[in-house]
Chains A and B, each alone.
Chain A
Amino acid sequence: MFASALSQLRYATAVLRNGPIRPRDLDRIARELLATLAEFGEPGDDTALLPGRRAAVDPAVRRTVTARSLRATARAAVRHTAYYRQVFDQLGLNPATLDLSGWSQVPVTPKRALRSLPAAFVSTAARPALLALTTGTTGAPTGVWFSREELELLTALSTISAAISLGLRPEHTVAYAGCSRATLALLNAEESVTRIGAGFVQLGTIEPESALDRLAAPLGLPGKAAQITHLTTSASYLAALVAQAERGGWRSEDFGLRQISVGGEVLSGPLRERAAAVLGGQVANSYLMTELVPAGAAPCPQGHLHHGTEFGHLEVLDPQSWEPTLPGGTGMVVHTPFVPYRECTLLLRYATGDLVRLPAVPPDCEMAELPATSDIVGRWTGPLSAALPTRDLLDLLEAEPDVPLPTRYALTDEPDGAVLHVLVRRLPSTTLLGRLEDRATAAGLPLAAIRPYDDRDAMPPTVPLRADLREHGFADLGPSHSTRLAGRP
């Protein structure tokens, strides 16, 4: 209790002074939290005081703290990274004099800049230890270097978050059905889950039928729930699981799922409902991006995404003019993760490419004091992607059982306007098409036409999906391969 109080005090002091955070302090807080849960079953009062859970803060205080954090981050970036030294030199900007109103003078950092030379963003003061590659859908993956200290800090923060937000306890088992190359997410999940004492299994993105089977199989362990209780996956792989479960006669009683956490892709309302119906449990989406961790966002019951202010600064900007998006409008998430939580790869005003809507009126939900946006509605690829964001199209298509999951679609800009190409189960599909057109009109989607296909090869290139980054088993490789392996001495 005494030692834990000291760690919490040292942590709070480091945060207030923007000084170095000792991973050991965060680590101790995380471990003490687990000891507290073991003794009492629940944390004490005021969990909002824990790292990463900062609740209501006076707006004026928050502005001061944010301005100081931004200045400290900019100073570190200019002093220690090649990219920002050059950018600030060319513009004659002094990071020490930046305040919130002058922050827009700092140019937005495009994703391309980070992808083309990750080393230009690595602080010379840090010791890079882990290169996390994102599963880039557009050619080369983006690489982000993390130091050992950052990894330890992330683990401690994820442990606190999993124990409190997710309510993870030792009797639970978490299955991770994501690409094994998403190193950071995987390492973090494994380490924080097992620290809590819960079980962890990496399923990978295998054949959906095999994944369903593993989710359904009893674990047969004393002290653990009978089946896997939590599933972490991407939206498109979840769609593949839902399709297989609906087709294969699975029912929610076949599984023991309490929560399905979805991240990395746009999750539609209909998919969320269909997944809850056939797999069971609550479907929740969160926002965590390798480039931005530990900064992230969590959903509230009213459907907003609330962005934490402790670890980074959120801006929602017009993707072309980089002017702030007005309430009710659609803009891009531009984010600055703060030192001292980040010390290796430093980013200022990083353009994530993720599109969100801003609420038209200030939210009045329980998390109203944190900046709110909609869920991620799509990825910016040009003006069409903002006018017809993925979320609207998936809400339209995934409500139709005759559109196979995961949804294959493409959007093209033609002289008459935008055309939505979609793969359906069979042609002709007159009634389906009629329904889609009616619902698109009712939703006010600016579509000139919807074109159904029953052959994917005949379609324009469809949107890339994580569910396609399939990991094979020997059985998937065909008989010749299996025989050859079996014949080995």
Chain B
Amino acid sequence: MNEASKGVGSVVYEARGLKKNYDGGQVAALRGVDFDIREGEFVAIVGPSGCGKSTLLQMLGSLDKPSEGSLSYRGRLISALEDPSDYRSTEIGFVFQSFHLLPTFTVSENVQIPMFETGLSRGEREVRAHELLVSVGLSHRLKHFPSELSGGERQRVAIARSLANRPSVLLADEPTGNLDSENAAHVVELLLKLHQELGMTLVLVTHDLGIAALATRTIRMKDGRVVDETTPLTHAS
């Protein structure tokens, strides 16, 4: 996968004429979106509030189904997946703006939650959660509850959780939206490291153009459509 992060990899996501309506067609959140996302890319999705960024990310994460058009993951239609939970648990990791940690579980337990869907033993789950939390710099917080952590720490727990089953794709919806600049920088640094060192494909929705500038490519959206795709010069090297 390191190879992939350097050059142009195979197509991970392919969207064609992707539409999503809510409330029986009254709200058109996506009005026909086309794009390809390749292995090892870091794609930033930007655009004004309400333009459909989160909706798009939910389609990518198979949290919701498109109304029209096709979206495939590595050549297979996501809407045709027999069991999207397998895809969600092992292929992708999801990081949300509001962390979405489970309040009644400790930090370590939150990271272990996705591992129930894989065949890991209890001991293996604990060890792996520990390793992941070490890698996000939270080894001293294993037994704390989310409510006892700062926003930045919570988001790092969420990142550790998203990596629980070693996915190849990370989907992040404004992961720094609820964080102050210092914590935001820390989280971005972590995500960038995953992209660069592990070659993970990273799709990140953000309002922060500074973060978007770090991406290999930016997809700009407006009113449910892609209006522009740019590859910042900074990344050409």
* A and B together in one complex: no
Residue ranges of A at the interface with B (Cβ–Cβ < 8 Å): none
Residue ranges of B at the interface with A (Cβ–Cβ < 8 Å): none
